């Protein structure tokens, strides 16, 4: 779980202010939960503005930008399902999945249905269906109707609606493009552990590219690995602070990109965490605790000195590192085009196990691939690690399974997943691949 300690030095927030205007209601600076929780009912974290119309509930961040939509129509699929708009300007529909197997499959009670292909093996296509599609298109009209209904009731409401109306779909897209310019393009994949904070992270590049150019990979770029300078990191932080502005209070976590932050010089890595906490004021977040997420590789993990993890343990917040192991079977590694030996993967897994047992604030998760075409030796080698070498059941150090093909949901694939889950002695979930 993401860290849940209280942040007691958060910025001063104006008191909530509510106004009813006939069939419309507006509440400014509404207080949500101060921690992310894994529960079977919707919770809203952070501080936000809310407009309730006869047709929908609309939520806006403290920069007055739309972040959430909930339909009130009779044909809305489920009263506990909603739409979320990310800072990368993607719409995600959170469905219950009938609550059947969702939590066991992804570790969360709600299934994020994405507008791109990487999760087709889990969810459906609700974004293409009514009334969800219409609400995504028509929300500006809901704001316009609210403005007309609530005009003149109070100066605070008039000013808030005026600012909200400035952020049209086109200007929200421009904001996302600004984010992508700051961090050198869209974030093609977030670490799976960012699910603990509903993927609500601030991206910060400390390096570019990755060590391997694996033949199977569809989410990482082809750049050679390179570190960024402290000056470049500082410039990103300044630009991110300006971009996120008042809504910084709703972030308590960072993602250190791109694809192998662990391979950076230890002083650069640890320094970036400290810089980000200070310049982005993560300790002043409304959301309790703070977290750093990053990727690592087998080589960077094996090469890291023990002192690095001592230093990470001493940094603010919790540290989540995700390592792509993919397979401990040599035939599968060769098939995947991953330039590793099976012995290296096994050694990396052994080190992951040791680090997770040694440190309280540092947690390492690992990824393996799954596919019907992979040999039995792949699954046998995986089970030797996640079952035989663990001994007793553990709750730290998740294992994520990533399909090689992003096609339609498959009963056979989920059957294989649940079989592996029953045998694993570590928490095991499907990798929910999200971008930003």
Cβ atoms 92, 111 nearer than 8 A: no
Looking at the fold, whether 321 and 338 belong to one and the same domain comes out as yes
Q: Is 2 part of a structural domain of the chain? A: no
Region 49-54 average pLDDT: 98
Residue 189 lies in a domain: yes
Lowest mean pLDDT among 46-55, 83-92, 112-121, 278-287: 112-121
Structure tokens at 396: 């730290």
Query: Do residues 131 and 180 share a domain?
Result: no
Q: Above 60 in pLDDT, residue 4?
A: no
The predicted structure's pLDDT at residue 12: 78
Whether 393 maps to a domain, the answer reads yes
CA angle 47/283/432 to nearest 5° reads 70
**Domain for residue 6, yes or no?**
no
pLDDT beyond 90 at 317: yes
Residue 205 DSSP code:
E
Q: What's residue 210's pLDDT?
A: 86
- Residue 251 shares a structural domain with residue 389: yes
pLDDT at residue 127 greater than cutoff 60: yes
Q: Calculate the average pLDDT of the chain.
A: 93
Do 197 and 294 belong to one domain?
A: yes
Is residue 156 in a domain?
A: yes
pLDDT category of residue 156 using cuts at 50, 70 and 90: very high
CA gap 181, 18 in Å, rounded: 37
Instruction: Report, as an integer, the average pLDDT of 128-145.
Output: 97
Q: Are residues 318 and 334 in the same domain?
A: yes
Task: For residues 387 and 269, state if they share a domain.
Answer: yes
pTM for the model: 0.95
List, as one string, the DSSP characters of 245-307. GGGGGG--EEEEESS-GGGS-HHHHHHHHHHHHHHTTGGG-SSSS-EEEEEE-HHHHHH--HH
Q: Quick: pLDDT tens for 272-309.
A: 999 999 999 999 999 999 999 999 999 999 999 999 99
Single out the residue of 353, 361, 325 nearest to residue 340, CA to CA: 325
Range of the domain at 40: 17-172
In a domain, 3, yes or no: no
Sign of the CA dihedral running 259, 202, 102, 67: negative
Which of 123, 139, 172 finishes a domain? 172
What pLDDT, on a 0 to 100 scale, did the predictor assign at position 119? 66
* Pair (308, 332) in one structural domain: yes
The Cα–Cα gap between 264 and 1 comes to: 25
Domain assignment present for residue 64? The answer is yes
Q: What is the CATH number of the domain that holds 224?
A: 3.20.20.70
Quick one: 104 and 186 in the same domain? no
* Whether residue 401 sits in one domain with residue 315: yes
Give me the pLDDT at residue 414, please. 79
Select from 407, 400, 405 the least CA-distant residue to 386: 400
How many domains would you assign to the chain? 2
In a domain, 1, yes or no: no
Instruction: Name which of 77, 107, 70 is nearest 395 in CA terms.
Output: 107
For 172, counting Cβ atoms within 10 Å of its Cβ (0-12 exposed, 13-18 middle, 19+ buried), the class is middle
User: Given 172, 198, 214, which residue is the final one in a domain?
Assistant: 172
Residues 199 and 271 in one domain: yes
Same domain for 194 and 159, yes or no, is: no
User: How far, in Å, CA of 20 to CA of 54, rounded?
Assistant: 12
216-229, pLDDT tens digit by residue? 666 666 788 999 99
203 with 138, same domain? Answer: no
User: Of the candidates 118, 152, 172, which is a domain's last residue?
Assistant: 172
């Amino acid at each position: 779980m993401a860290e849940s300690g209280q942040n007691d030095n958060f910025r001063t927030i104006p008191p909530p202010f509510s106004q009813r205007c006939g069939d419309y209601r507006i509440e400014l600076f509404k207080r949500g939960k101060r921690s992310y929780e894994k529960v079977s009912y919707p919770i809203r974290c952070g501080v936000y503005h809310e407009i309730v119309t006869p047709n929908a509930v609309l939520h806006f961040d403290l920069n007055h930008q739309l972040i959430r939509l909930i339909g009130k129509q009779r044909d809305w699929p489920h009263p506990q399902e909603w739409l979320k708009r990310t800072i990368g300007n993607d719409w995600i529909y959170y469905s219950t999945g009938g609550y059947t197997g969702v939590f066991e499959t992804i570790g969360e009670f709600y299934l994020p249905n994405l507008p791109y292909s990487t999760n087709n093996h889990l969810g459906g296509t609700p974004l293409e269906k009514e009334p969800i599609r219409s609400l995504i298109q028509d929300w500006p009209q809901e704001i316009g109707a609210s403005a007309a209904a609530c005009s003149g009731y109070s100066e605070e409401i008039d000013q808030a609606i005026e600012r909200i109306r400035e952020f049209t779909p086109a200007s929200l897209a421009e904001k996302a493009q600004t984010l992508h310019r700051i961090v050198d393009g869209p974030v093609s994949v977030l670490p799976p552990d960012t699910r603990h904070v509903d993927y609500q992270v601030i991206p910060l590049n400390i390096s570019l590219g990755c060590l391997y150019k694996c033949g199977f990979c569809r989410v990482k770029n082809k750049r050679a690995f390179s570190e960024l300078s402290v000056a470049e990191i500082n410039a990103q932080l300044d630009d991110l602070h300006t971009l996120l502005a008042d809504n910084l209070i709703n972030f308590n976590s960072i993602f250190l990109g791109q694809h192998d932050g662990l391979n950076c010089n230890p002083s650069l890595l640890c320094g970036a965490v400290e810089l980000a906490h200070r310049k982005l004021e993560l300790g002043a977040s409304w959301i309790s605790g703070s977290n750093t997420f990053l990727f690592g590789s087998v080589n960077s993990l094996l090469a890291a000195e023990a002192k690095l993890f001592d230093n990470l343990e001493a940094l603010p917040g919790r540290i989540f590192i995700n390592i792509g192991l993919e397979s401990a079977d040599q035939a599968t590694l060769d098939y995947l085009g991953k330039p590793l030996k099976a012995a290296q993967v096994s050694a990396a897994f052994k080190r992951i196990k040791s680090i997770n047992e040694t440190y309280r604030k540092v947690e390492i998760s690992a990824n393996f691939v799954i596919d019907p075409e992979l040999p039995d030796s792949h699954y046998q080698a995986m089970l030797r690690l996640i079952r035989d070498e663990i001994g007793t059941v553990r709750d730290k150090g998740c294992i994520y399974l990533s399909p090689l093909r992003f096609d339609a949901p498959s009963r056979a694939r989920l059957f294989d997943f649940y079989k592996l889950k029953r045998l694993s002695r570590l928490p095991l979930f499907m990798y929910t691949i999200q971008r930003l």
